[in-house]
Chains A and B, each alone.
Chain A
């Protein structure tokens, strides 16, 4: 028994120790936490890369943490609490929930840690009620992006389309803004009807399933707008499975590498490009200013771009 316990404990210790290669406590660089929604999405991986490059350049010690699942606000809150304990000088965060995250931000405020929000805005009312002040917001305007996508659809269909929409997780500011933008852009085109709009929760496999079901119910859908590329890529598979490749236009959001490949191959029509690595970079640059006590603008907008086959060729 005793032997077993020793083995167990040794294994535990070894597993913890072996993971501890990245813990230099000695540097006098300011330590900054970058808390992402998740790291199993190319968008956030790109954001991390941009942030890391800026951090290396500007002499910031960056600690990147993320929840295992994008929707896990409680885990994000735990990470924030834990990072505060390590004496971070600033918190950069992409909130998993616009309102829920406020409780975590309160903890940062209590510890006098300046907060910089990236990608997803914090609910202003909830933040004001809790007395949370954020230094700045870095992101792209999702509403404008949705409008860009909508205008593109009007353009390429000649103002005549039956549209199916794949939504993100309901209640997420990011997805809701994109949808609002899209709907606002197409509402003046009388020939464009949104026949179905359903959540596929940002995920590729759900994009496949939900769109497959949509096609069953509405076989005459000729255009898809997906609030993210992962869902769009799922929809493309569903279109292929139904033997309708090329007959349904797919417009996505994020311009992921896979989406660009699909656009080049002609299975996808277009995607709204955000620049997550730019966001990461701008966030870290803002952090440095905030630590120096400089005043920051209320929001820092990163550009958006429509990626189409033509724009890919031009590059």
Chain B
């Protein structure tokens, strides 16, 4: 084990410990926290952010950022809703939604790679374009009321575990394998670590970067499916600020905004910390204004640790 990977592990240990301590504190403060229904609750509430954060982790490890994910959630969602309302079969509607997510990601990636623009600018622009497209498409109105089969994607359960939680676990499993066991995954780290060196090593950085943003678009569309099923409605204004929640989960989980390092396990724990915090603060009756302060403090605290660790290493 190299020194750097040992540090990554230590960092993740810190994140897990943070989650454990946070949960213990809540357990001590309220009898309602550590119950099976409530934990399933938290898992379900975390699932959407956790899935979006998968793509964000790929992007941030590669040294980029994707601010358009929330808007992609909205556009994929309303397209899905409209397709279902229009009488399309469920698989067709799902394919349309996922296709739109991937397309948005491909556009992001292509402009970043071939246009040579900073990801922040491109995805900021796409955030607005895609949101606008969702509003134009729906004329600002939500698309509602779907059949029970579709709604079971959120309301259904398998052995007591809600469907969104199962979907989240499946997405993490697949994404984890892709990130750690495939060439593509290695290139994600390599591009974030040293893009120029990766290019000189003969890797098509442009192609792989484009694919990374496509992954982000794809998982955002998956989150849109769950969100739409959960609310039984697709709203053009859905997913506002999801990009910030996903970035927060990713950095709390120890992925460096500088790129080149991070892990999906960390991101999952990061998303859970945010979910547990929100749930716990609700259970304790903490005002929603104070909740924002606490969540902000946790984000800064987590990244502070990251930064101090790096200073140690150098």
Contact = CB atoms under 8 A, between A and B. Distances in A.
21 contacts: A1-B14, A1-B312, A8-B301, A9-B22, A12-B21, A16-B22, A16-B29, A22-B285, A25-B30, A68-B292, A82-B279, A82-B282, A83-B282, A87-B32, A97-B142, A97-B233, A99-B145, A99-B233, A100-B231, A100-B235, A103-B233
A71 interface: yes
A79 interface: yes
Contact of B14 (A4, A68, A71, A74): A4
A9 B17 contact: yes
Given A39-B287, A99-B144, A99-B233, 19 more contacts: A4-B309, A5-B18, A8-B305, A12-B21, A13-B21, A15-B297, A22-B284, A25-B30, A65-B288, A68-B288, A72-B240, A77-B231, A82-B278, A82-B282, A97-B142, A97-B231, A97-B233, A169-B140, A171-B142
Interface of B: 10, 13-14, 17-18, 21-22, 25-26, 29-32, 35, 37-38, 41, 44-45, 48, 139-142, 144-145, 227, 230-233, 235, 237-238, 240-241, 277-290, 292, 294, 297-298, 301-302, 304-305, 308-309, 312
B22 to A, nearest CB: 6
Contact of B230 (A8, A22, A77): A77
Nearest to B298: A12
Interface in A142-191: 169-171
Nearest to A104: B231
Contacts of B288: 39, 65-68
B83 to A, nearest CB: 18
Contacts of A170: 139-141
Nearest to A16: B25
A65 to B, nearest CB: 6
Contacts of A125: 145
Contacts of A103: 230-233
Interface string A76-113: 01110111011100000000010110110000000000
Nearest to B273: A12
Contact of B231 (A15, A73, A79): A73
A63 interface: yes
Contacts of A126: 144-145, 232
B231 A85 contact: no
Nearest to A5: B14
B290 A129 contact: no
Given A16-B280, A86-B283, A171 B141 contact: yes
Contacts of A83: 282
B145 A4 contact: no
A69 interface: yes
A99 B142 contact: yes
B236 to A, nearest CB: 9
Interface residues of A, number: 51
Contacts of A8: 14, 18, 301-302, 304-305
A89 B267 CA distance: 36
A19 B278 contact: no
Contacts of B31: 25
A17 interface: yes
Given A23-B285, A63-B285, A73-B231, A16 B305 contact: no
Contacts of B29: 16-17, 20, 23
A72 B237 CA distance: 8
Contacts of A169: 140, 237
Contacts of A17: 25, 29
B26 to A, nearest CB: 7
A199 interface: yes
Contacts of A13: 21-22, 25
A253 to B, nearest CB: 19
A312 interface: no
B284 A20 contact: yes
A170 to B, nearest CB: 4
A227 to B, nearest CB: 14
A262 B290 CA distance: 32
Contacts of A72: 240
Q: Which 9 A-B pairs have the closest CB atoms?
A: A170-B140, A82-B282, A171-B141, A99-B144, A100-B233, A5-B14, A9-B21, A85-B38, A100-B231
A99 B143 CA distance: 10
Contacts of B290: 19
A193 to B, nearest CB: 23
Nearest to B29: A20
Contact of A171 (B26, B32, B140, B283): B140
Contacts of A69: 240-241
Contacts of B45: 78, 81
A64 B290 CA distance: 13
A181 to B, nearest CB: 19
B282 A15 contact: no
Given A16-B22, A66-B288, A82-B41, A11 B301 contact: yes
A85 B141 CA distance: 32
B284 A23 contact: yes
A169 B91 CA distance: 32
| Residue among A1, A22, A77, A79 facing the most chain B CB atoms (10 A cut-off) | A1
Contacts of B294: 15-16, 19
